[in-house]
Amino acid sequence: MPNGPDALFFAGDLGQRIFQQPCSWLSKGVDIRGRSSALKVNYRTSHQIRRRADLLQPARVRDVDSVEDQRKGTISVFDGPEPDVGLLDTAEDEAAYVAAWIAGIVADGVAPEEVGIFVRTPDGLDRAKAAAKQSGHPWVTLQDCGDAEGGRIAIGTMHLVKGARVQAHRRDGLRRRGHAAS
């Protein structure tokens, strides 16, 4: 925003649910209701993954200040493969499913260091480690070292995917190859 009085810029995505407690701007004395625009172009997610994710969201979302947004009309700028989704009964079944998925993409030419297993919270890291161990490939936890090391699968919370700690060339390499898993 240019310098000047009332030069504030707030950005948010009502569809994002990776952080636990939403912030109420109104409770902080900032009323942004009625003065916003919804951005409809997604540059980071393929059409296929966005469409699948949209099935998990209601058509309309409302924040804690009663600001409402429609998800309808959002587009992505690139294509990728359809997400591979498995509904599994146990953590052991999940580890086997993910390990088999990793074996398949590595057999297709994806290097282990271009693979990431990301979970919602730190409580899920043991599940990710079990899947990586079962895959037979070495792994590294991004919370511990910050970056994936050569030949190792990266493991972390999904918050790290959006942060600067995951190296951009790794994300770009996966995007070019068209691989993604949720």
Could you give the CA distance from residue 86 to residue 94 in angstroms, rounded to a whole number?
Answer: 8
Q: What is the pTM of this model?
A: 0.65
Q: Are 128 and 167 in contact (CB under 8 A)?
A: no
66-77 pLDDT, tens digit per residue, is: 777 776 788 899
Q: Is the dihedral of CA 131, 135, 140, 146 positive or negative?
A: negative
Q: Where are the domains of the chain?
A: 1-83, 91-177
39-63 pLDDT, tens digit per residue, is: 788 888 889 988 888 887 777 777 7
Mean pLDDT of 156-167: 64
The vertex-175 CA angle with 10 and 161, nearest 5°, equals 45
Given a cut of 90, whether residue 86 has pLDDT beyond it is no
